[in-house]
Structure 1
Amino acid sequence: MTLFPSTSTLERHTHRGPLVVLTMLLALAAVLLPTLPGAGGAAHAAPSEDGLAVDVSVTAVQPQVLTVDQDLTVKAVVRNTGDTTIEQPRATLRISRYRLASSERLAAWTSSAPGDDAGSPVQSIDLEAPLEPGASAEVVLTVPAASVGLLRSASAWGPRGLSVELSDRSRRVGLERTFLLWSPSEDPADLSQVAVGVLVPVVGDGLTTADLDALEAAADEANPADGTTDSVDPSGTASPGAPDDAGDDAVDASAARATDALEALTSTGGRLDTLLQATAGQSTVTWAVDPGLLDQAAVGGDAARAWLQRLAAEASRTDVMALPWSDPDIAAIAHASESALLNVALGISSPASAQVLGESPARLLWAADSTLDEETAELAARSGAGPLVVGASTSGSTLPAATARVDVDTAAGQAELLVPDATLSKLLADPESVQPGATPATVAQRILAETAVAARAATLSGSSLVITAPRDWEPDAALAQAQLKALTAAPWVTSTSVSDLVEQDGETTTLPASASSSSELSPAHVNALGGARDDVADFAQVVPDPQRLLDGLDRRLIAPLAVAWRSDLAGRKVFVDTVLEEATQRRSGLTVLLSEQVTVAASSSQIRLVVRNALDQPATVRVEMLSRQSCLKATASPVTTVAAASEEVVTVDVRATSACDVMVDVVLRAEDGTLVSTPVAFSARVTPSIEDVGLSIVGALLAAGLVAGIVRTVRRGQTAHRGARLAAQAQADAEAAAAEAESAGQHEQPASHTQEGVGEHR
Structure 2
Amino acid sequence: MPRRSGVARAARRALTVLAAVLVLVGALPLSPARANAGTAGPAARDVLPGAVATTVLPADTDDESAGRVTLAVTSLAPQVLGTGEDVTLTGTITNGTDQTLSGATLVAQMQSRTEMTTNGLASWLADEQDTPLATIALEALTDDVAPGAAVDFRLTISADNLPLRNTEQWGPRGIQVALTQGYTTLTQDRTIVLWNPGVQVSPTRVTAFVPVTASPAELLALTSPAPGSLPDHAGPPTPTASATASATDSGADYAETLAALHERVLGLLELADDGVVLAVDPALLAVLGVESTAPTSAAATGSPTPSAAGDGGPSETADATDLKQALADAVAAGDVVALPWGDADLTALAHLGETDLLASALQRSADSAAAQAGADTSVAWAAGALDATTLAALPDSVTTVVAAPGDAPVAVNLTYTPSGTMTLDGRTVLIPDAGMSAAIGGSLLTDEGDAQLSDLDAVQLLRGQTAIVTRQAPAVSRDMVVVVPREAAAELDPQVLAQRLTALTNSTWTQPQGLHALLESAADSAQSGAEVARVPLPDSASGQGEVTAMTLSAARAAEDHLDSVASILDDPERALGMSTDVVALAASASWRADESACTTMIAQSRARGEAVSDALAAAPSSTINLISSSADLPVRIVSTLDQDVTVEVHLESSSTRLQTDEDVTVTVPAGGQVTASVPVTAVGSGDVDLTIQLRAQDGTNVGTPSTVHLRVRADWENVGTRVLGGILVILLVAGIIRTVRRGRRTATPRERR
Shorter-chain TM-score above 0.5: yes
> Aligned AA for 2:538?
P
TM-score (ref. length: structure 1): 0.55
TM-aligned CA deviation for residue 552 of structure 1: 9.7
Pick one of 496, 514, 518 that aligns with 1:501. Answer: 518
TM-aligned CA deviation for residue 426 of structure 1: 2.3
- Which runs of structure 2 are paired with 1:395-474 in the superposition (5 Å)? 397-400=407-410, 403-409=419-425, 414-431=426-443, 438-458=453-473, 460-471=476-487, 473-474=490-491
> Aligned AA for 2:590?
A
Asked whether the 8 Å contact 1:73–1:142 carries over to 2, the reply is yes
- 2: CA distance between counterparts of 1:121 and 1:137? 21
Pick one of 500, 511, 520 that aligns with 1:483. Answer: 500
- Secondary structure of the residue that 1:78 maps to in structure 2? strand
* 2:286 maps to 1:295: yes
Pick one of 19, 22, 32 that aligns with 1:43. Answer: 19
TM-score (ref. length: structure 2): 0.55
- 1: CA distance between counterparts of 2:578 and 2:69? 60
Relative to structure 1, the CA distance from residue 477 to residue 78 in structure 2 (aligned partners, 3 Å threshold; closer, same or farther) is farther
Pick one of 149, 161, 166 that aligns with 2:179. Answer: 166
TM-aligned CA deviation for residue 92 of structure 1: 3.2
CA deviation map 1:321-373 (0-9, x unaligned):
2112212221243234443333332333799x63x664342133232322x32
- Secondary structure of the residue that 1:166 maps to in structure 2? strand
Asked whether the 8 Å contact 1:340–1:530 carries over to 2, the reply is no
Relative to structure 1, the CA distance from residue 136 to residue 577 in structure 2 (aligned partners, 3 Å threshold; closer, same or farther) is closer
Counterpart in the other structure of 2:537: 511
- Which runs of structure 2 are paired with 1:266-305 in the superposition (5 Å)? 266-267=258-259, 270=260, 273=263, 277=267, 280-281=270-271, 283=273, 284-298=275-289, 299-300=308-309
TM-aligned CA deviation for residue 158 of structure 1: 1.9
- Secondary structure of the residue that 1:487 maps to in structure 2? helix
- 1: CA distance between counterparts of 2:156 and 2:541? 54
* 2:153 maps to 1:127: no
Asked whether the 8 Å contact 1:181–1:448 carries over to 2, the reply is yes
> Aligned AA for 2:424?
V
TM-aligned CA deviation for residue 135 of structure 1: 3.8
CA deviation map 1:366-423 (0-9, x unaligned):
32322x32121122x415145333345x5xx5555954334332xxxx3433333222
- 2: CA distance between counterparts of 1:212 and 1:436? 34
- 2: CA distance between counterparts of 1:129 and 1:369? 52
- Higher RCO (CA 8 Å, separation ≥ 6 residues): 2
Counterpart in the other structure of 1:202: 213
Relative to structure 1, the CA distance from residue 108 to residue 528 in structure 2 (aligned partners, 3 Å threshold; closer, same or farther) is closer
Relative to structure 1, the CA distance from residue 70 to residue 310 in structure 2 (aligned partners, 3 Å threshold; closer, same or farther) is farther
CA deviation map 1:101-124 (0-9, x unaligned):
11221123123379x677211233
- Secondary structure of the residue that 2:172 maps to in structure 1? strand
Relative to structure 1, the CA distance from residue 249 to residue 562 in structure 2 (aligned partners, 3 Å threshold; closer, same or farther) is farther
* 2:370 maps to 1:359: no
Share of identical aligned residues, percent? Answer: 22
Could you tell me which runs of 5 or more consecutive residues in structure 1 were left unpaired when the two chains were aligned. 1-35, 219-244, 538-550, 582-587, 598-608, 617-644, 648-675, 679-762
> Aligned AA for 1:122?
I
Counterpart in the other structure of 2:588: 562
Counterpart in the other structure of 1:724: none
Pick one of 72, 79, 82 that aligns with 1:57. Answer: 72
Aligned length: 522
Counterpart in the other structure of 2:351: 335
- 2: CA distance between counterparts of 1:118 and 1:272? 49
> Aligned AA for 1:470?
R
- 2: CA distance between counterparts of 1:67 and 1:209? 49
Relative to structure 1, the CA distance from residue 339 to residue 529 in structure 2 (aligned partners, 3 Å threshold; closer, same or farther) is farther
- 1: CA distance between counterparts of 2:222 and 2:141? 61
Asked whether the 8 Å contact 2:212–2:265 carries over to 1, the reply is no
- Which runs of structure 2 are paired with 1:685-704 in the superposition (5 Å)? none
Counterpart in the other structure of 1:707: none
Asked whether the 8 Å contact 1:67–1:183 carries over to 2, the reply is yes
- 1: CA distance between counterparts of 2:79 and 2:221? 50
- Secondary structure of the residue that 1:568 maps to in structure 2? helix
- 2: CA distance between counterparts of 1:104 and 1:166? 27
CA deviation map 1:183-233 (0-9, x unaligned):
22354xx3542424142332254767985998xx99xxxxxxxxxxxxxxx
TM-aligned CA deviation for residue 313 of structure 1: 4.5
> Aligned AA for 2:136?
V
Asked whether the 8 Å contact 1:192–1:455 carries over to 2, the reply is yes
Pick one of 322, 331, 341 that aligns with 1:325. Answer: 341
Pick one of 388, 411, 416 that aligns with 2:401. Answer: 388
- 2: CA distance between counterparts of 1:198 and 1:143? 39
> Aligned AA for 1:265?
T
Asked whether the 8 Å contact 1:208–1:258 carries over to 2, the reply is no
- Secondary structure of the residue that 1:44 maps to in structure 2? helix
- Secondary structure of the residue that 1:362 maps to in structure 2? coil
Relative to structure 1, the CA distance from residue 478 to residue 321 in structure 2 (aligned partners, 3 Å threshold; closer, same or farther) is closer
- Which runs of structure 2 are paired with 1:67-106 in the superposition (5 Å)? 67-106=82-121
Could you tell me which runs of 5 or more consecutive residues in structure 2 were left unpaired when the two chains were aligned. 1-11, 24-65, 239-246, 290-307, 411-416, 564-576, 611-646, 668-675, 679-697, 701-753
Relative to structure 1, the CA distance from residue 77 to residue 108 in structure 2 (aligned partners, 3 Å threshold; closer, same or farther) is same
Asked whether the 8 Å contact 2:209–2:279 carries over to 1, the reply is no
Pick one of 136, 148, 154 that aligns with 2:162. Answer: 148
RMSD after superposition: 5.7
Counterpart in the other structure of 1:605: none
